[in-house]
C-alpha cells in the first residue's frame, strides 16, 4: 500500500473491478442473487406471523446477557446508523429499486447528524454567542436544545427517538465543545479553531468506530483480516454507497441487543418503550424521546466502562425484547406500518428484494447453516431460503454464541464500515492511516467511548496538547 507524507492514495484502496453507484443512493453487494422468495399475500402473512407480538421472535422476560458488549454500544450502534443512512421515502407496501432510493445521509462517519450542513447552512445548531460551539440550552444542560414544542434542535430527528440515544447525541455536542476549548488555547482564531476541533472530534470518533465498536461487534480477527487483505465484496469506484444487504439486514442486528428495561441513572429505571402510557405525558415512565424532565438524563457509568456497575447488552439472536413489538411511533410516510419492529424488518426484505441468507453465504464462500437450524421457520417454507436478517441473527447465535456476529453478518458489517472509512477523503484512515489518538485516554495511543465521556465531563486540562 503506497503512502507519501502520511497520505493514502486512492488507487491503493479502490478495487479496480468496482461497480459504480451514484453518490447518495443505496445499492447491492450481490446484484446477481435472486430474492429470497416471490412476493405474495401468503409470504407477507408468514413474515407477519414470524414477527408478531408473542411470536417466535418475541423474547418475553428471557433476555440473556452478552458478557462482552455493554449496553452503551447498542445505542452507539443506533447513533452510527443515523450518521450514515436515512431513508424517509421507501414504503413497505411497494417494492423498491435500491439504486433509485435516495440516502439522505452522506455515507461517511463524519457526524453530519451532529454538525448538520455546517454553521452557514444550519446556524440553529450552533451557539451564536460562542463562535464554533454547538448549541446547548443554558437552562437545561442535561438535555438536547429544544424549541417551544419540545422538538429537539438537532441535525437528525431520529436521534431523539429514545432518551439514551438523545443523551448520546448530547454527549457528542459536549465533546465537540470541550475539544474546541482545548484547541482555542493554541489557535485563537474561531474559524480555524472550529475546523481543527471538528477534525479532532471526527478522527477520534472514527477511531472508536473502528477500534472499539466494530471490534466488539465482529471480533478483532475479522477487522484485522479486512484491514490486511482488503475488502472482498463491498466494492465501489468513485464514491461509497450503502448496500441494502447491510442497511436492511446485517446492520439491524442491533435490534436484537436492546433490553426491555434500562437504568438511565440511579433514580430512573424504565422500559425502553411503553405504548400504554399517554404520549402527551410530559415525563412518562418509559425511555421514549421527545420529553424533558429533571430525571431524564443518563449516567454513562452504567453504559460504558467508567468504573460503575455496567448494564450489559442482550445476546445477538433471533429474538427481540417485547417492547420492540409495540413501538410508540409510526413513520409519517408509512401510516400502515406495523408497530412490531420485527415485522417491519422482515417485510423490508420484500420491499428491496433481498436474497436469502443461504445464497449470500454461498456467494461469500461460507458454508450455509443447515435447514435444521431453521426448524422454527419450516412451517413458513423459509428454512432453506431464509430472510437475510433472520439468517444473520441465527448465525450469530449458532456460530458465535450470540456474543458477536458470525462470518456472513460480521463480514458485511465490517467491510461496509471499513469501506466507508477508506472512501472518505477526510477520514483519518485516508488522510493519515498511521495516526493515533492525541486526546487524553486511559491507555496511550488508544481512545474509547469511556475516554470520550471522561474528556467532556472533566473539562480541559491546561497541560493537554492537541498536537
Q: What is the pLDDT of residues 218-241, one digit of tens each?
A: 999 999 999 999 999 999 877 899
Distance between alpha carbon 149 and the CA centroid of its chain, in Å?
Answer: 27
For the residues 329-357, what does the mean pLDDT come to? 85
pLDDT digits (tens, 9 = 90+) for 54-93: 999 998 877 899 999 999 999 999 999 999 986 554 444 4
pLDDT at 7: 32
pLDDT tens figures, 152-173 = 999 999 999 999 999 999 999 9
Averaged pLDDT, 399-424: 97
Chain-wide mean pLDDT for the chain?
A: 89
pLDDT of the residue at 105? 58
The answer, as to whether pTM is greater than 0.75, is yes
Please provide residue 32's backbone torsions phi and psi, each rounded to the nearest 5 degrees: -95, -5
How high is the pLDDT of residue 91?
43
Q: CA angle, corner 384, sides to 324 and 373, nearest 5?
A: 65
Percent of the chain whose pLDDT exceeds 90:
80
pLDDT on residue 106: 80
* Average of per-residue pLDDT across 256-269: 96
Q: What is residue 18's predicted lDDT score, i.e. its pLDDT?
A: 31
- Local structure of residue 322 (DSSP, 8 states): G
pLDDT grade for 48, boundaries at 50, 70 and 90: very high
Indicate whether 437 pLDDT > 70. yes
CA dihedral 466, 107, 409, 403 (to 10 degrees): 30
**Grid coordinates given for 24:** 447518495
The dihedral of CA 269, 209, 79, 253: what is its sign? Answer: negative
Compute the average pLDDT of residues 183-208. 97
105-122 burial, b if ≥16 CB within 10 A, otherwise e? bbbbbbbbbbbbeebeee
* Residue showing cell 456472513: 408
Is pLDDT above 90 for 337?
A: no
- pLDDT of the residue at 306: 95
Residue 15 has pLDDT above 70, yes or no: no
199, with CB counted inside 10 A (0-12, 13-18, 19+), is: middle
* Mean pLDDT for the stretch of residues 363-391: 98
Whether the per-residue pLDDT at 94 is higher than 60: the answer is no
* Domains of the chain in sequence order: 3-458 (1.10.640.10)
What is the model's pLDDT at position 265? 97
Mean pLDDT confidence for 178-195 = 96
In this model, does residue 405 exceed pLDDT 90? yes
pLDDT at 308 over 90: no
pLDDT for position 315:
97
Q: What is the pLDDT of residue 328?
A: 82
More confident residue, 333 or 312: 312
Amino acid at each position: 500500500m503506497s503512502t507519501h507524507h502520511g497520505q493514502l492514495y486512492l488507487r491503493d484502496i479502490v478495487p479496480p473491478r468496482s461497480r459504480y453507484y451514484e453518490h447518495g443512493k443505496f445499492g447491492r453487494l450481490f446484484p446477481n442473487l435472486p430474492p429470497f422468495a416471490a412476493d405474495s399475500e401468503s409470504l407477507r402473512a408468514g413474515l407477519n406471523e414470524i414477527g408478531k407480538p408473542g411470536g417466535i421472535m418475541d423474547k418475553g422476560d428471557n433476555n440473556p446477557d452478552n458478557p462482552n458488549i455493554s449496553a452503551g454500544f447498542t445505542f452507539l450502534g443506533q447513533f452510527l446508523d443515523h450518521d450514515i443512512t436515512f431513508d424517509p421515502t421507501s414504503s413497505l407496501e411497494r417494492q423498491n429499486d435500491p439504486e433509485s432510493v435516495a440516502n439522505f445521509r452522506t455515507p461517511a462517519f463524519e457526524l453530519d447528524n451532529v454538525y448538520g450542513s455546517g454553521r452557514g447552512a444550519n446556524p440553529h445548531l450552533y451557539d451564536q454567542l460562542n463562535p464554533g460551539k454547538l448549541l446547548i440550552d443554558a437552562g437545561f444542560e442535561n438535555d438536547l436544545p429544544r424549541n417551544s414544542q419540545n422538538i429537539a434542535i438537532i441535525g437528525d430527528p431520529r436521534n431523539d427517538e429514545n432518551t439514551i440515544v438523545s443523551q448520546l447525541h448530547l454527549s457528542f455536542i459536549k465533546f465537540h465543545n470541550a475539544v474546541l476549548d482545548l484547541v482555542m488555547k493554541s489557535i485563537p482564531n474561531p474559524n480555524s479553531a472550529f475546523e481543527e476541533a471538528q477534525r479532532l472530534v471526527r478522527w477520534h470518533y472514527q477511531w472508536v468506530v473502528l477500534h472499539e465498536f466494530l471490534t466488539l461487534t465482529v471480533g478483532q480477527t475479522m477487522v484485522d483480516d479486512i484491514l490486511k487483505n482488503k475488502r472482498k465484496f463491498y466494492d465501489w469506484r468513485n464514491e461509497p454507497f450503502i448496500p441494502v444487504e447491510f442497511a436492511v439486514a446485517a446492520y439491524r442486528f442491533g435490534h436484537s441487543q436492546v433490553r426491555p428495561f434500562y437504568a438511565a441513572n440511579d433514580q430512573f429505571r424504565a422500559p425502553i418503550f411503553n405504548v400504554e402510557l399517554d404520549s402527551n405525558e410530559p415525563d412518562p415512565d418509559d425511555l421514549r424521546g421527545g420529553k424533558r424532565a429533571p430525571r431524564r438524563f443518563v449516567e454513562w457509568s452504567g453504559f460504558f466502562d467508567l468504573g460503575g456497575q455496567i448494564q450489559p447488552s442482550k445476546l445477538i439472536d433471533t429474538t427481540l425484547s417485547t417492547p420492540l413489538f409495540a413501538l410508540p411511533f409510526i413513520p409519517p410516510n408509512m401510516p400502515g406500518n406495523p408497530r412490531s419492529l420485527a415485522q417491519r424488518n422482515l417485510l423490508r426484505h420484500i420491499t428491496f428484494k433481498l436474497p436469502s441468507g443461504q445464497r449470500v453465504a454461498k456467494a461469500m464462500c461460507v458454508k450455509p447453516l443447515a435447514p435444521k437450524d431453521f426448524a422454527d421457520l419450516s412451517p413458513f417454507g423459509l428454512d432453506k431460503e431464509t430472510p437475510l436478517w433472520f439468517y444473520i441473527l441465527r448465525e450469530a447465535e449458532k456460530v458465535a454464541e450470540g456474543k458477536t456476529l458470525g462470518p456472513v453478518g460480521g463480514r458485511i458489517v465490517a467491510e461496509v464500515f471499513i469501506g466507508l472509512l477508506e472512501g472518505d477523503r477526510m477520514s483519518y484512515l485516508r488522510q493519515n492511516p498511521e495516526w493515533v489518538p492525541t486526546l487524553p485516554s486511559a491507555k496511550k495511543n488508544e481512545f474509547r467511548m469511556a475516554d470520550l465521556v471522561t474528556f467532556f465531563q472533566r473539562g480541559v486540562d491546561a497541560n493537554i496538547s492537541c498536537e
